[in-house]
Structure 1
Amino acid sequence: MNAGIAKDVTTRPEFTLAVLAAAGFVALAAATDGNLLSRGTLEAFFRFLAVPIVIGLSQMVVLAVGQMNLSVGTLTGLSAMVAAWLMLEGGLPAPLAVLGALGAGLAAGLVNGLLVVFTRINGFIVTLATMTIIEGLRYGVNGPDTFQGYSPGLRDLGAASVLGLPVVLILALVVAALVALFFGRAVAGRQLLATGGSPFAARLSGVSNDRSIVIAHGLSGLLAGVAAVITVAASGSVNSSIGDDLLLPSFAAPIIGGVALAGGVVSVAGTCLAAFLIRLVDVMQAQFGINPRWIDLIVGAVVLGAVLLGTVRQKLSKGPS
């Protein structure tokens, strides 16, 4: 029985990702002559891991219902600018500005979901359109200028650590645990998976697929707002280009982590581990001065490979037709 359990664990994608993450970390530490293991470098590594984890989860919850959200990056940037604007121009304290950023993300996500439901247009197209709109709104908040000098307390929180772990990473892991509980224990979470797995069967079981789509997009927007708050706290400044580089990582983390594009399958642990691997690639690029375009090529190729592998695995699981 124990052997069967061990075999089941070792054949899961999360186990493979954990082994790759550990091996990659050791290899990169050796390649940098131990520089990666210095306290400052290690803290920076984990501090900037927080956003990839949360943004991957933001995309994952939409993939759960078989949808996509192309606006996660621009939405993160808009929410970050809203928070900074509320503190600097609106004169609001940091807690209210944080709520404003979360509210902006949630509202935009709900709009995405409602547009998908009422227009019956694929979420890919809808969020492509709202991504463009949000880019304009984001630029319209303060143009090309940079927001800086906002709440020292919030910036101190972004730089703070507990037992060597950055507070923002701890926040990201708490969010990941809550998302895991949502899909594992909450009725709404199980309904999202049912909608993604088989909309027809879900409808026969009394699940409102439309409600699931709206909830998924709303939660995605809320998580993008969380990523924005982490960005505002950790970066110390915000401009209109914030979030532009998050679209590819938002897909890469859940897809490499074993989440099905067709919906119905999520993996919070896999998404977090894949985000760790992507962060390793970013550090490798910085350490060795690799052209970022090559990094994009590598990550894109890995994502494509993960999609193809998932397709083959799905066909094999169904057996011959």
Structure 2
Amino acid sequence: MRRFARSTEMTLLAICVVFFVALVIASDGELLAANSLRVLLQFLAVPVLIGLAQMVVLAVGQLNLAVGAIGGFAAAAMAVLMADHGVPAPFALLIGFLLAAVAGLVNGVLVVLTRINGFIVTLATMTVLIGVQYRMVGTRTVDAYPQALKIFGSSALFGVVPWIFIVALIVAGGLSVLLRRTVPGRKLLASGGNPIAARLSGISNDRSVIVAHTLSGAVLGVAAILTVASSPGVNKSIGGDWLLPSFAAPIIGGALLTGGSAVVLGTVLAAFIVRFVDTARAEFSLEPSWVNFVVGAVVLGSVVLGQVRTRRQQRRTVVKSPDVTVAGGVS
């Protein structure tokens, strides 16, 4: 409990509480209405997932610029399969999910085979997938898919907690267990934290990179499913605004750009904060650009503070390290 009280997650939780109370006061209590809470949580499901998808790649010291492209491509594929080809919804959603996972796998394999930075590789695949998405849907909006799927996307437990948000939390919980409690997850974090030490320990850093990108694609596949279910239709713009939130949530949540960290709870809480900023923008009728400005400034500040914290930890490690033993056994 002491460790949690001093953690980044505790700080983010406190900010969330303060933000929420301030918004409740500003809205004269309207935010506490069941419908308002449902809308708030409904629009949080996908940001949570895209933040987690980026966090997994950051854990191995990589970047994924194709987050929105993978999700948009998968969502477009699902919608087109159901609307244009009459594929039953369960099969169409499964195919779209697998396509997203395969896209992530391709990213990981390309990074390993070419030894090119993931920034460049995912930039290239992002461009390709955006083109494929446009080829599938063109300028239209695809919305002729089963009504039952749309009902699921808008339904909520007790009329307050959307089912799609519950799915996002389940994915977050499963990802936390995978990264912290399983051997593959620990190997992935070890590769991100210290690749040289991981290799000397018999861990394949290449495999960790491939697993991270594939897992990121799988999470984006779930995000695509929830997007199709909760959106009135799918068009070429789906996923186009996912990139900044995907970086904002994990970085604000405490993820290190150098890798080795799994901040699932921090990512979820940071997604809440970003959503609260957007809600405040709507409440006070501010320009939408203010959201990007605030989020970008917070991300930049988080990166700077993270670098400062890392340097302080390195200095403390050097100071506390034991003296080196010299010849003759005298230390």
TM-score (norm 2): 0.94
Match of 2:291 among 280, 289, 295: 295
Which whole-Å CA distance do the structure 1 matches of 2:139 and 2:28 have between them? 40
Which whole-Å CA distance do the structure 2 matches of 1:252 and 1:130 have between them? 21
Which whole-Å CA distance do the structure 2 matches of 1:77 and 1:205 have between them? 39
Q: CA RMSD in A?
A: 1.0
- Paired residue for 2:106? 111
Which whole-Å CA distance do the structure 2 matches of 1:66 and 1:173 have between them? 24
The structure with more radius of gyration: 2
- Gaps of at least 5 residues in structure 2 are 319-331
Match of 2:86 among 72, 91, 99: 91
Q: CA deviation at 1:77?
A: 0.8
Q: CA deviation at 1:104?
A: 1.0
- Paired residue for 2:117? 122
After TM superposition, the structure 1 = structure 2 runs for residues 61-72 of structure 1, keeping only pairs within 5 Å, are 61-72=56-67
Which whole-Å CA distance do the structure 1 matches of 2:207 and 2:50 have between them? 22
Deviations 1:110-147 (A, max 9, x none): 01001100000000111011111111011011211100
Q: CA deviation at 1:50?
A: 0.3
1:246 aligns with 2:242: yes
TM-score (norm 1): 0.97
SS at match of 2:85: coil
Higher mean C-alpha deviation, range 280-289 or range 56-65: 280-289
- Paired residue for 1:48? 43
Contact 1:149 1:236 (8 Å CA) reproduced: no
Q: CA deviation at 1:185?
A: 1.3
Which whole-Å CA distance do the structure 2 matches of 1:85 and 1:234 have between them? 16
1:32 aligns with 2:32: no
Match of 1:22 among 11, 17, 20: 17
SS at match of 1:265: coil
Contact 2:54 2:246 (8 Å CA) reproduced: yes
Which whole-Å CA distance do the structure 2 matches of 1:105 and 1:173 have between them? 20
1:147 aligns with 2:142: yes
Contact 1:83 1:97 (8 Å CA) reproduced: yes
Amino acid at match of 1:252: A
Q: CA deviation at 1:57?
A: 0.3
SS at match of 1:266: coil
Which whole-Å CA distance do the structure 2 matches of 1:283 and 1:90 have between them? 38
Deviations 1:59-82 (A, max 9, x none): 000000000000001111111101
Which whole-Å CA distance do the structure 2 matches of 1:74 and 1:144 have between them? 17
After TM superposition, the structure 1 = structure 2 runs for residues 158-307 of structure 1, keeping only pairs within 5 Å, are 158-163=153-158, 164-307=160-303
Which whole-Å CA distance do the structure 2 matches of 1:40 and 1:172 have between them? 19
Q: CA deviation at 1:9?
A: 2.0
Which whole-Å CA distance do the structure 1 matches of 2:162 and 2:138 have between them? 31
- Paired residue for 1:132? 127
- Paired residue for 2:325? none
- Gaps of at least 5 residues in structure 1 are none
Give the number of aligned pairs. Answer: 316
